[in-house]
Structure 1
Amino acid sequence: MGRMKREYLLSNRQAEAGLRFEAIAELFDPWTFRHMDELGVEAGWRCWEVGAGGPSIPRWLAGRVGARGRVLATDIDVSWARPAAGAVVEVRRHDVIEDEAPAETFDLVHARLLLVHLADRDQALRTMIGALRPGGVLLIEDADPALQPLACLDEHGPEERLANRLRAGFRTLLAGRGADLAYGRTLPRLLREAGLDDVRADAFFPLTSPACGRLEAATITQVRHELIAGGHATEVEIDRHLAAIAAGRLDITLAPLISAWARKPA
């Protein structure tokens, strides 16, 4: 019997996906690029960006690896990543669980906010490790919503309480689609158990910013029908929450983004 496929809750086919990718890039790209800097990404490197989503990371990598390098950006839906395609960047539709691994090896394999959502995330991780050249680096960045489950840390009024109830409903929807809400914290152990060397990890935890609010609004808009159907909120409550975000009355926070990296033995 084949695997039962679950459709990703936050589909790239919806218009809000572009807003989400823009907010994610504003929030997390500086953090991701700092790690890539420290890992030594340079001219001539071959890089695989898995689950690319938007174009920002492939474009940055292309600027680093230059004409002698290569960037492969893959996703199950490449419509938002396609603008990054060029002489250095190949954008390819690819399912990291179902499809054959690329017929090449890489100096860097990176995925951000991907594995937590996959039901067969262990297979995806094996595929990415298998695509590393000896001495190559794997950088995985994923959220841990169970580590910090709130939307508003300072729950001092009804708007903050509503935001936290909607975040709880969203987490329930994610878990129902196969997401592991405590996945981020397991990354160091998983990389070590996979036989990688020099395992390290840290975390980024934005407390509030306009981009946090935009990401929250796009996410809630994208899943509003599922929240209502699941009994997590009413139309009126969702509209009230979106209005509070738009008015700047909420300090919206996110789950920590845990970054873990390690090298394949030479």
Structure 2
Amino acid sequence: MTHSPETPGTPGTPTPPVPPRYLLDNAQPEAGDRFDALGALFDSTTFRHIAELGIAPGWRCWEVGAGGTSVVKWLAGRVGARGRVVATDIDTSWTAAAPMPAQVEVLRHDVGRDAPPGGGFDLVHARLVLVHVADRDRALRAMVGALRPGGWLLVEDADPAAQPLICLDEYGPEQALANKLRRGFRTLLAERGADLAYGRKLPRLLREAGLTDVAADAYFPVTSPVCDALEAATVRQVRARLVAAGLATDEEVDRHLASVTAGRLDLTTSPLISAWGRKTA
């Protein structure tokens, strides 16, 4: 595995510090728990889509905003020794620390600011990334531009505005509190430039970028123990910001985490909308 920094327009030199816009910082200890939960919830959906796009030995893939390692390792297994997987993120600490096959290259890279890491990719994939990127239009153009003719772009992003609740059945005070904290979390995301209705726009944006054979679907679990794990890690990660912004009290956060731990809540997620399109020859 190759580890290398990436900088705006100039591969091989350090990237300047990124402003602290991303609410769910990879450097926080809860990030690993979130990566594990997101993988358990959504990897099967992601892998199904990529398999249906025809991934094969020898493909060159760019995993944007890799964060954890589950997708990167799966891609490496599918492209084999003759393939290549470039895994990029603004913070590569989790990916770079994991043992990887030789065909995986890990780069520190900001998809909204930096030049793409090469070109001619058969597949470019991003999951739960662009909704958080300030210049997401530029990022999408960069991802499309990095495709080879005939290559596929798969973008998977949430649409919290389409389904804003974490407890669909708000039948009691515990469920009402869970939804209150979820509203606070969405407020923090919006304040940092996240587009909470981005997922629904993906098919149109892929067509406007010139891709063909565009299609999309959506997935979200209604209740799952993994949703409990994801919620606990997320709330712990943003707790201080929720309290500082007056969106929740410490007592409310403690009470909610106790309800989650006890398994008394049916927790869901925002819909994950997967959209894909192909670059014309």
The reply to whether TM is greater than 0.5 is yes
Indicate the residue corresponding to 2:44 in structure 1.
Answer: 30
- Counterpart of 2:34? 20
With the length of structure 1 as denominator, give the TM-score of the two structures. 0.97
Question: TM-score with structure 2 length normalisation?
Answer: 0.92
Indicate if the aligned counterparts of 1:201 and 1:258 stay in contact, CA closer than 8 A.
yes
> Which SS does the other structure have where 1:81 is aligned?
helix
- Give the match's secondary structure for 1:21: helix
Q: How far did 1:85 drift?
A: 3.0
CA contact (8 A) 1:84 1:91 kept: no
List aligned pairs for 1:15-164, cutoff 5 A.
15-82=29-96, 83-164=98-179
Deviations 1:210-249 (A, max 9, x none): 1101100100000001101111111010000001000000
- Find the counterpart in structure 1 of residue 195 from structure 2: 180
Give the alignment partner of residue 215 of structure 1, picking from 215, 230, 235. Answer: 230
Partner AA of 2:80 in structure 1? G
Q: What SS does the aligned partner of 1:181 have?
A: coil
String of CA shifts for 1:164-216, please: whole Å, max 9, x gaps.
00000000000000000000000000000111000000000111101101100
1:6 CA drift (Å): 4.8
Dislocated runs of 4+, deviation >6 Å? none
Instruction: State the alpha-carbon separation in 2 of the partners of residues 5 and 221 from structure 1.
Output: 22
Q: Aligned Cα RMSD in Å?
A: 1.0
Conserved 8 A contact 2:112-2:134: no
Deviation for aligned residue 1:5: 4.2
Q: Call closer, same or farther: CA 1:84–1:208 in 2, change over 3 Å.
A: farther
Per the alignment, residue 207 of structure 2 pairs with 192
Could you tell me which of 248, 252, 255 is aligned with 1:237? 252
The alpha carbon displacement at 1:97 in A equals 1.8
Identity over aligned pairs, percent = 69
Q: Which runs of 5+ in 1 are unaligned?
A: none
1:168 match: 183
Whether the aligned pair in 2 keeps the contact of 1:71 and 1:88 (CA below 8 Å) is yes
CA–CA distance in structure 1, aligned partners of residues 179 and 66 of structure 2: 29
Any idea what SS the aligned residue of 2:238 has? Answer: helix
**Higher mean C-alpha deviation, range 93-102 or range 56-65:** 93-102
Q: Distance in 1 between matches of 2:60 and 2:236?
A: 37
Amino acid of the residue matched to residue 232 of structure 1?
L
Tell me which amino acid in the other structure corresponds to 1:35: H
In the alignment, the residues of structure 2 paired with residue 98 and residue 250 of structure 1 have an alpha-carbon distance, to the nearest angstrom, of 40
What residue identity is the alignment partner of 2:194?
A
Once the two structures are superposed, residues 62-82 of structure 1 have per-residue CA deviations (whole angstroms, 9 ceiling, x without a partner) of 100001100000001011112
Distance 1:236 1:97 in 2: 38
SS of residue matched to 1:25: helix
Q: 1:100, CA displacement in angstroms?
A: 1.7
CA deviations on 1:101-153 (whole Å, 9 max, x unpaired) are: 11232000000000001111000000000000000000000000000000100
Task: Supply the AA of the counterpart residue of 2:39.
Answer: A
Moved more, 141-150 or 85-94: 85-94
How far apart in 2 are the matches of 1:147 and 1:162? 20
Partners in 2 of 1:118 and 1:172 — Cα distance?
A: 16
1:3-40 per-residue CA deviation (whole Å, 9 max, x = no partner) reads x9452000000000000000000000000000011011
